[in-house]
Each structure stands twice: as C-alpha cells, then as structure tokens.
Amino acid sequence: MSNDTTEQRPAALIFGGSRGIGAAAAKRLAEDGFRVALTYVAHADKAEDVVTAIRSQGGEAFAIRADSADPAAIRSAVSQATERFGTISAVVVNAGIFKMATLDAVSLEELDQMIAINVRGVFLSIQATVPHMADGGRVITIGSNVAIRTGFPGSSVYQFTKAAVAAMVKGLALDLAPRRITVNNIQPGPTNTDINAGSIQMLSSMSPLKRVADPAEIAGAVSYLARSESGYMTGASLTIDGGFVL
C-alpha cells in the first residue's frame, strides 16, 4: 500500500482501547479501514495484543500509554496520534473506572478519581481531539445503562458519572454542530469484560435475554456511529443492554 493511499484512510483515536469494549472497538474500526491509535494505562501487554491483532489483518495501529485522569497525558496522546496520522476522523472515549461502595464507604479519593476519569477525562479527551478533527468527524463516548437506572446499592458515584456523560454529549453536540461533527453516547449494559469477571452468570440470569453482551456487539454500534450513515444522529444516547432497563 502506498503512502498516498495510507494518507487517505481515516484515523481513529480510542481512549481506553486495550481491553474489553475499547479493544473490540479498535479492532472493528481497523476492519472498517481506520488507522487506529489506542491508549492504555497499566496493561501494555494487552494493548500490544490489540495492535498485533490489527496488524496481522493488514491494518495500522499503535498504542500510547496515557492515564485519562492526567490532562497532560490526554494532550500528549492526541499529539502522538496526530503526529502519526494527521487529521483524526473519529474519537472514541471509552476510558473509565468502576468502584462500588455505598454512601458511607465512598472515600474522597475514590470520588475524585471516578469524577476525574469518568467525567473530566471524557470532556478533556474530546476537547483536546476536536481541534485536530476534520469537519464531519465523529465523537463517540462509552457510557453505561446505569445512567438510566441501577438496581444495585453502592453504584451511586458510578451512576452519576455516567449520567453526566449522557448529559454532556447533548451540549457538545450543539457546540460542534456547525462543523457537522456528531457527538453520540453508547450506554452498554452488562458486557463480558474484566469489570464483570465473576458476575457473568448472575448478570445473565437478570437479563431478559438471559445473557450479557459480547464486546463485539457494542463495537458494532461504534462502527455505525463512526460511519457516514449516522451523520444525522447527534446528541443521542444508544442503550444496548438486552432489555435491562425496560
């Protein structure tokens, strides 16, 4: 493939792309023809596994160590991605953390960390990337169906951070509409990822479909939102949870 052809291919930056939904999204976007930059924090081996898988299929990808709680790291990730790929066509903000604790047990440190990554980090990732996006670009956040409802005590902080993301995309969609950059949020329900390890059977029994999602199913929604067919959708939250919140 010539360099000229490579330059014409779109590029995607995925914050939190080493495991689970982020890894599935990275692979799917690479299948769709995107060059992919993905960030990770602690699992360099997992990130490299994703990069290797993409390259083995003829795609182009690389990994960047960046903590989404660190504004400087977010800016550096964007800088490295644009230095390598130039204009970014799509950004997927998947980085997030989940810590369960009831009101009396939530420490200030845990509260600040979840807000820093799940809310501030999402906003800053978008803010840093958009100046390097072409008009008509795509911003995709990964929220959670708990933004609508949760039946589990101890999830209040996680819930309000994900509700904040759902609200955030509405305002950002209006800000970016003049450039035809769409901003949409995916709200997965229980998914077969590390965060739910040990709880798959229990969560499956609670689902109307009697199973949890495969990360590839969520990645399919990412693929749709990154394509031209989704150009009239913006400021929306897509809940993909097997009927959990019905």
Query: pLDDT digits over 200-229, tens only?
Result: 888 899 899 999 999 999 999 999 999 999
Q: Taking 90 as the threshold, does the pLDDT of residue 158 lie above it?
A: yes
How high is the pLDDT of residue 193? 85
Whether 158 sits among the annotated catalytic residues: the reply is: yes
User: For 1-10, 137-146, 148-157, 192-201, which range has the lowest pLDDT when averaged over its residues?
Assistant: 1-10
Tens digit of pLDDT for each residue in 67-87?
A: 999 999 999 999 999 999 999
Q: Which of 40, 158, 224, 232 is catalytic?
A: 158
What does the DSSP 8-state code read for residue 235? S
Superfamily of domain 8-234 in CATH is: NAD(P)-binding Rossmann-like Domain (3.40.50.720)
Strands (E), the chain: 11-15, 35-40, 61-65, 88-93, 133-142, 182-188, 237-240
Integer Cα distance of 240 and 244 in angstroms: 9
How high is the pLDDT of residue 7? 54
Rounded to two decimals, the pTM is: 0.93
Q: What is the mean pLDDT of residues 97-115?
A: 93
